[in-house]
Structure 1
């Protein structure tokens, strides 16, 4: 069974309750027929112990199947085997002659319960296998192979197929419901973050932009940058679920980073990626280059290399700076400075990729970002 099937609140839970109700009703029906037909039995004294076993097993399975952790193949197989044994005991108790004349077996309709349980617990294939096995035992016990004898086995097989299909639909519905709940929770969290950002960061950026407007030098440059970041951040928080647009050449987004200290190299042809994927990679590269600017000498050289392969795109950002120690990365993340943890690793991980960082004091730092190409639909 899948995790969806065993999860708390699974849509399969009502089916297991229905099996328990059916088994109890079938037990009552079997007891009534035993009382009615016991005078025709070959060995009637054995009917009562078998009925007691059926009653005890009904109670046991009712509680056992109520716990999702116990709905496993060992219990399903034990249920099937014990029910087959009860069916086979009909030859000893009812007698071959009475069974040939059409008298019901000891189990009557009680033997259908484990077949349905296998269909619910293991899907259509398990249900079909259980129905074929139980149907074969039923036909052999009855010892006549006419249409009337096979009808019950066929109906049991059809029930297993129908229930297995219903279970598959329930699992898909459960998975979609879980996904919808997760998306709703994520949306609420984004809305909360958007409110917090609006009440704090955006207002500070707007204030810096207004106070620095018209100033010269670094103060004016800071005001201009604050204004640009305010616009970008406001667009992000007001439209967090923006869908990727048509394909974009990744190199066209990376070439603007080229300067006297930054070199960008890549294939001669365009590196086409979905717009959202390309922008996220470019943002990660920007964060990596920003780390070089902030933590290294202003004249430190940096190199951006793009490798385009059929299954993935690799972007490497290498600098000739002083390097980054592992303890420094952990310390920065603990202090809330999440440039590499979120701006780089977080972005690439969200695209299904991975980030590798190699650094030393003698050769600088190289950040390698590998992003798989999205598979074509259809």
Structure 2
């Protein structure tokens, strides 16, 4: 179940509540097919048992007694066949009554049939319909309930036959083993279902937490870092304000990094970066980077990536694009633009305000590739991993997290003294929500 599916269900439930209606509960149950199969089994075996009794009607010592039992059993099935269509309808009281019909039919068989026919292997009145009552216990309560019910049937069969005949023991053991095995499988399936539901809850919570962390990094953390730096430069009361902003930045980074739970599918996409305009030359290494004002995301349809990336061009940024439109789903294009913004932020942080950056857009048959390159000093080996451990999550969330949601990836190539190159790849036809997620390359 994807995030889009979860949002669709919860949105429908919210709409139903607003209109005063009770929302329909969508139950994800691995045992529902078993209940349907049990219902079909009980109906088919009833038909088979009726035919069996009808064919042997004249052979019974008291055929009217056999007919009376089969009539009662048919009425019982007509009144209760829906009870086995769902676990809510199949109550413990019903299961006991159903088993009572089966055991009662076995015990009255000697009263309506001759001893010779019974010893010759004649079936009991309920015949194989009895297994349906036992299977109901197995599906409802697991293997322990199944063992109790099948044991009751076994005792009834031994009383009816009055001896330990081979075929009787064979049938008893077969019913006992089958019901216990099905009951155990049902218990395992329920445990797996609970584990899956818990995993989906954790995954959804993780995605939301990572989305919030990414938005915080793209806006609040950088504003706090700017206030800290400006306050230190101005001095006086502003310096104290800057110091407090710096403390809050560190605390917030620690909270964001500590609350992160690794997710195989990445974070859910957040919005574009919030613009915080100030000169790029004022940023130093290790400080917050200037946030480039990205165009707002376009809702729905497709979008030309060039239109979203063109505003990044400036005296310090060279933008190169194909001559034809580069189309991506609007949400995917917005996420790619936000990742480019974060990559440019890293250029100003690590290369300084005097660095020059180049943005190259390539429209490949199956993907859109955007390369961000600078002429800075490069990134020392292991620095990206160290930054992530320190709580600086620009690369982990604003770049890798966004592209991972789109089924793409990011690759860094950095040589000391020769600058850094970041290649961002987004497969065509992907969207952050509800689409197929691929494996990130970085």
User: Normalising to structure 2: TM-score of the pair?
Assistant: 0.50
Q: 2: distance between equivalents of 1:56 and 1:198?
A: 69
2:129 matches 1:110: yes
Note if 1:48 corresponds to 2:67: yes
Is residue 11 of structure 1 aligned with residue 45 of structure 2? no
Return the structure number with greater helix share: 1
Q: 1:242 to 1:105 in 2, by over 3 A?
A: closer
Number of the residue aligned with 2:224: 205
For 1:61 and 1:9, the matched residues in 2 are separated by: 25
Match of 1:122 in 2: 141
CA distance in 2, matches of 1:214, 1:207: 11
Q: Distance in 2 between matches of 1:187 and 1:77?
A: 45
Which residue does 1:23 correspond to in 2? 42
Q: Write the deviation string for residues 255-286 of structure 1: whole angstroms up to 9, x where unpaired.
A: xxxxxxxxxxxxxxxxxxxxxxxxxxxxxxxx
Alignment of 1:339-378 (within 5 A): none
1:161 aligns with 2:194: no
SS of match in other structure, 1:106: coil
1:144 maps to: 163
Deviations 1:291-321 (A, max 9, x none): xxxxxxxxxxxxxxxxxxxxxxxxxxxxxxx
Judge conservation of contact 1:99–1:143 (CA < 8 Å) in 2. no
Q: Aligned to 1:101, which of 106, 120, 124?
A: 120
Task: Check conservation: 2:32, 2:86, Cα contact below 8 A.
Answer: no
In 1, Cα distance between the equivalents of 2:227 and 2:71?
84
1:78 aligns with 2:97: yes
CA positional deviation for 1:196: 4.0
Describe the shift of the 1:7–1:61 C-alpha distance in structure 2 as closer, same or farther (beyond 3 A).
farther
Partner of 1:38: 57
Moved more, 201-210 or 14-23: 201-210
User: Matches of residues 62-73 of structure 1 in structure 2 within 5 Å?
Assistant: 62-73=81-92
- Aligned partner of 1:229 among 230, 235, 248: 248
Report Cα offsets for 1:113-163 as digits up to 9, x if no partner: 111111121121111111111111012112332211211111111012201
- Displacement of 1:236 in angstroms is 4.1
Aligned residues of 1:124 and 1:165 also touching (Cα < 8 A): yes
Q: 1:116 to 1:200 in 2, by over 3 A?
A: same
Give 3-state SS (helix, strand or coil) of 2:72's partner: helix
* Contact 1:100–1:144, Cα closer than 8 Å, also in 2: no
Runs of 4+ aligned residues of structure 1 deviating over 4 Å after TM superposition are none
How many residues are matched?
A: 238
User: What are the superposed Cα offsets for residues 22-57 of structure 1, whole Å, 9 maximum, x if unpaired?
Assistant: 112211221221122112111112333322322333
CA RMSD of aligned residues (A): 2.4
Question: Does 1 or 2 have the higher relative contact order (CA < 8 Å, sep 6+)?
Answer: 2
- 1:109 positional shift: 0.5
- Report how far residue 238 of structure 1 moved: 5.4
Unpaired stretches in structure 2, ≥5 consecutive residues? 1-24, 263-442
